[in-house]
Chains A and B, each alone.
Chain A
Amino acid sequence: MKLPNDATITTDLLHPLLNTSWRFYLLVAFLGSIVLMGLSTWIFQMVMGFGMTGINNPIFWAFYITNFVFWIGISHAGTLISAILRLVNAGWRRPVTRCAEVITAFALMIGALFPIIHLGRPWLFFWLVPYPSSRMIWPNFRSPLAWDFFAINTYLTGSLLFLFLPMIPDFAIVRDHSTGLRRKIYGVLALGWRGTTKQWHRLETAMSIMAVGIIPVAVSVHTIVSFDFSMAPVPMWHSTIFGPYFVAGAIFSGIAGLIIAMATLRKFLHLENYLYPLHFQNLGKLLLMMSLLWGYFVFNERLTVWYGNHEADMNVFWVTQTGSFSPLFWTMVTVNFVIPVIILGIKRFRTITGCVIASCGVCVGMWLERFLIVVPSLGHKYLPYSWGTYTPQPVELLITVSTFAAMTLLYTLFAKFVPIISIWELKAGKHPSPALFPEGAREHPLGEVHI
């Protein structure tokens, strides 16, 4: 392993921007076609009618809402890693932050699409925007869906800012290393960055503010998403645990997504000198902690429901525990808890490959968790005469698959146009400026990894 120096950092990390192989075009074409297929499937759904989905009476929410919550959950990766690790000045965050923030931005955008996809009349989605309409009707601010609108837009704005701010010095680096059109574009994006002390100071202040501010926004976003469920009098939805449960689950799935993204980048962009097993081990430890936390929440929720023995809740409880949804439920428990705890808890297994396997399992498990929250409850409400079952239809499957392709595509394109690892932050890590360090850290430089 060759420790990179300043020059190699720049060349290595600018390499993807400046050199494009045929493989890239092939990948983009492949992913693009899947995304196009997804888009046309959505148009098909709008033209033919929402009945093309598997939604029925009483299961009025299924795949699309599951996807919505899932992607919003994934978007919590960036916040935790970037904001929290920045705040506590964990040095190992440096090659990781941008990967994470990018996930947030794109996952949010994709997630925010789903409330529109799942509408019966999606062409009227703009009625959720609070504007003074000629009908003098505002959105119903009492509705959790209206809260979703504000929360997600706030978080998206914040995350984009939080993503963009640290990209400015890197855009300047690209600008300085390129010519012609590329120089012009990146010049615009760099917003005239010259690297003066004053600019650095402003940047660091802004980033600190964002880091502090984005955390409560992120917590509130997923709490508000959870309110979509907990505010409705549906058995096993109407629970106070949903807020923290969802936030914990979001962070959990976010870290998993991040690990997968980082491992992929490491392999395909040859970033072995920048993303070490240590990074994965640290993230793996975080993932382990979240897995234990998730297990705690699930146990907590289910124990109280079972002990409370409320009839309507118990119908849903049993149908997931031992009934028709139990295969999915136990799969979820296995891939979210059993396997990650084993892989991530035993140091020998906590390798990059191990972390990736655990993370893939967690992604599947968290998707299943959302599904198992939405569908069994809706299928077993208070009047058994109206219980029902759900089968996903091709439109839902295609659109779901296409969002994963869309995420990958957006990520790939991003990595093509922006250095996926923050160049200036890496360099700053090698040459820590006293101004960047709080008092105590200078005296007790523990936990710092200088590369």
Chain B
Amino acid sequence: MDRRNFIKLTALTGSATALASCGNPEHTIIRFLPEDELTPGIAEWKPSVCPLCASGCGLTVRVMDTDVEVTREGQAGVTRMAVAKKLEGNPDHPVSRGGLCARGQAGIQVTYHPDRITQPLKRTGNRGEAKYEAVTWDQAIAELATQLDGLATAADQKSLAFVTARRSGRRATLVQQFLAKFGAPAAMAFELFGNDVLRRANGLSFGREQLPTLDLARSRYVLSFGADFLGTWNSPVAHAEAYGAMRQGRPGLRGSFVQIESHMTQTGANADEWVPVFPGTEGVLALGFAHVIVHEKLRPADAAGRAGALIAGWASGLEEYAPDRVSKLTGVTVHRIEEIARHFAELRPSMAFAGGPPLAHTNALFTAVAVNALNALVGNINEPGGIFFTPQVATADTGPSASGAAPSFDKLAAGIVAGQLPVKVLLVDGANPVFATPQAWKVKEAFAKVPFIASFGSFLDETSAQADLILPDHSFLESWVEAAPESGSLVAVMSVAPPAMKPLYQTRAMGDVLLEVGRKLQKPLDLPWQTYEEALKTAIAPLAGGKDIDEDWFAIRKQGGWWGNLSKPAPPVAAASKAPMTFVEPQFDGDVQQFPFHFLPYPSAAFLDGSLAHLPWLQELPDPLTSAMWSSWVEVNPQTAERLGISDRDIVEIASAHGSIQTAAVVSPGLAQNIIAMPVGQGHSMFTRYATGRGANPIAILAPVMEPETGSLAWAATRVKISRVGDPDGRLILFAGAKEEKPNEGLR
């Protein structure tokens, strides 16, 4: 080619390319003006609070600028925003002390989840089809107001039901005030792995109806009855920090710990002594220890005071709990019972606590009270190395209390299904009862009978898919967050933090939405705050006790909350009288011939009760015990597996009297022959692209057995049968390599 032609060709192609990119407005990207003033590349650290479990760990959030695709006034474009990049524990926070669990780390994926609901939605298809159309906030709020007005007009305010996650703090107060002023019953807190039995027991034994705070760091001997306190129970991050200090934080002194449980948990793996026990007999074992302590005169029986008096036979030497009887009932050897008892009494400060499966039986209250008595016997309540109760910030409430207590969730569902409880409007915030309840409770059927359901959820899950209207909340990083931890701290804590970043989408803080709905009713509710922030400020700023409330509020916001000693801590409550309790055999559902195995669903390290299954980092996090990722599984004892012809990864069916599920089997040495354990969290039929249609949900087949005193679900009381139904089909994914043969097998 000669030079002339070359230049012609270049000019032609060059201009063609240049022309192609202009003149077509659809291909240009609009850049909005930056909304934040942030130096590029320099991070700012802002406080926040993790809401993924009830621990309420204080966070510090790394915020940096980046380009974000946003929609402003219906126009799509790009803007420079300061966004959260990483979550860390706040080193100054009394609960987290700088640490953060894997779930908390993954919390950032809630904000950036691809399947977040970005704007209010109104249902167009049938319930459960997940067919929605976008509506504006004005429309959505108007719709909800109309529904509530309908109730008010018909003087039917009692037909409003509000289901929420179990929360304390101002958000709960706001909801409570809303319902009270409207005239509806109190909100119903739904919690699958609830601790109501433990609270009731603590109320009876110590006058504090509250979760215990464990001073592990100064303890010498810890006796845990089934509590996965380093994994999923109570306040795991606070416990882990204290545990590390207990082990190696005191030169020359190392605390020991004994785990008593029917199934090896992540916590149990760290025990110096792991004691397997028959399900539902933990209370007997505790009293067996007490018997030895008292009989060997290591501690006087009356040291247990009121807590001891709750046990029938305490004062007369606990004769029913002699070691040989206890050994027969629990499966623990006499020698072990005596040794542990002696250590518990002699290696002080010592502490004992119960949680998890032992408190999920029909005799759970007895178990909890028995363990409490042990603590009282060694005198560790409010003593270093013992059991404390986090001082609770009394929320200054104004206004009437709710008209009528809420029924428990199963009773609500049953009532709706039977037509006795005519709920007309149901509001759901932060709970997924359609997933996390036994099929026997018929929650889905109950929901079907409610004419109007609205959800504040950020994701389409089994419950919000039943909603007629979705008013999506901000993610916690985009919103004011708070937590009033019930445990995990020796001082009172009221965590609160402003949004760490601006909202990505057209979501709104649930508190603000409720307040606006309250204003938009035909008969406005006249709540004392304009915004959720105001509700927080009026209650929390005064805790600092200063003169200038704005200054105090600024300081509290900057720190991520207020913590310290309360000027007026709440006093213990006078105990409700209760007749002394005796051991009653735990009741199990299912005939033992037909259903020979105890079924132990347990909160998984990654997903707890399933509410975190939508976060991809957690799906890919190898389970501590099995290393499983993206899977559900069931754990089977090796002899049982051999007997039933089940090999590792085989597909098995687990059936109770109330349903059956199929999943892969993992042969595990961490449980007895008559126990089948399965983690909770997978088995969602709808919960974003990462969790939908994955695995099986053990909650579905649980029997509706209740603990009689509190009405809590006794989720460890179901019996099942198990059978092999198929070869491994690849659904179980393990990170750890399979050890095909024992090494050096050939050598005899």
- Chain A residues engaging chain B, CB cutoff 8 angstroms: 58, 309, 311, 314-315, 317-319, 321-324, 379, 384-389
Contact = CB atoms under 8 A, between A and B. Distances in A.
B744 A314 contact: yes
B740 A311 contact: no
Contacts, number: 42
B745 A387 contact: no
Nearest to B741: A323
Nearest to B736: A385
* Residue from B627, B737, B746 whose CB has the most chain A CB atoms within 10 Å: B737
A389 B740 CA distance: 10
Contact of A319 (B627, B736, B740): B740
B741 A386 contact: no
A315 B627 CA distance: 22
Contacts of B745: 318, 322
B7 interface: no
Interface in B696-748: 736-741, 743-747
Contacts of A386: 736-737
A387 B734 CA distance: 11
A388 B737 contact: yes
A323 B736 CA distance: 19
B545 to A, nearest CB: 53
A311 B744 contact: yes
A203 to B, nearest CB: 47
Interface of B is mostly: loop
A379 to B, nearest CB: 8
B736 A309 contact: no
Interface residues of B, number: 12
A315 B746 contact: no
A322 B738 CA distance: 16
A347 to B, nearest CB: 39
Nearest to B739: A384
Given A314-B743, A315-B744, A384-B739, 17 more contacts: A311-B743, A314-B746, A315-B743, A317-B746, A318-B741, A318-B743, A319-B741, A321-B746, A322-B745, A324-B740, A384-B743, A385-B627, A386-B736, A387-B738, A388-B737, A389-B737, A389-B738
Interface in B489-531: none
B152 to A, nearest CB: 60
Contacts of B737: 58, 379, 384-389
Nearest to A384: B739
Contacts of A388: 737
Contacts of A315: 743-744
A318 B746 CA distance: 7
A321 B745 CA distance: 11
A258 B718 CA distance: 70
Nearest to A379: B737
Contacts of A385: 627, 736-737
Contacts of B747: 309, 314
Contacts of A314: 743-744, 746-747
B734 to A, nearest CB: 10
A419 to B, nearest CB: 44
Contacts of A379: 737
Contacts of B627: 385
Nearest to B744: A314
Contacts of B744: 309, 311, 314-315, 318
A323 B740 contact: yes
Contacts of B738: 387, 389
A313 to B, nearest CB: 10
7 contacts: A315-B743, A317-B746, A318-B741, A318-B744, A322-B746, A384-B743, A387-B739
Contacts of B743: 311, 314-315, 318, 384
Contacts of B736: 385-386
B66 to A, nearest CB: 26
A55 to B, nearest CB: 15
A441 B746 CA distance: 56
A387 B737 CA distance: 4
Contacts of A318: 741, 743-746
A388 B737 CA distance: 5
Chain B CB within 10 Å — which of A318, A321, A324 has the most?
A318
Nearest to B742: A318
B625 to A, nearest CB: 13
Contacts of B739: 384, 387
Contacts of B741: 318-319, 322-323
A58 B737 CA distance: 9
A375 B736 CA distance: 18
Nearest to A388: B737
Contacts of B740: 319, 323-324, 387
Nearest to A387: B737
A388 B627 CA distance: 14
Nearest to A322: B746
Nearest to B627: A385
Nearest to A315: B743
> Which 7 A-B residue pairs are closest in the complex by CB-CB distance?
A387-B737, A388-B737, A385-B736, A315-B743, A314-B744, A323-B741, A318-B746
A323 B743 CA distance: 11
A318 to B, nearest CB: 5
B744 to A, nearest CB: 5
B252 to A, nearest CB: 33
B389 to A, nearest CB: 41
A319 B737 CA distance: 14
A324 B746 CA distance: 14
A58 B746 CA distance: 24
Nearest to B747: A309
A309 B743 CA distance: 11
A318 B744 CA distance: 7
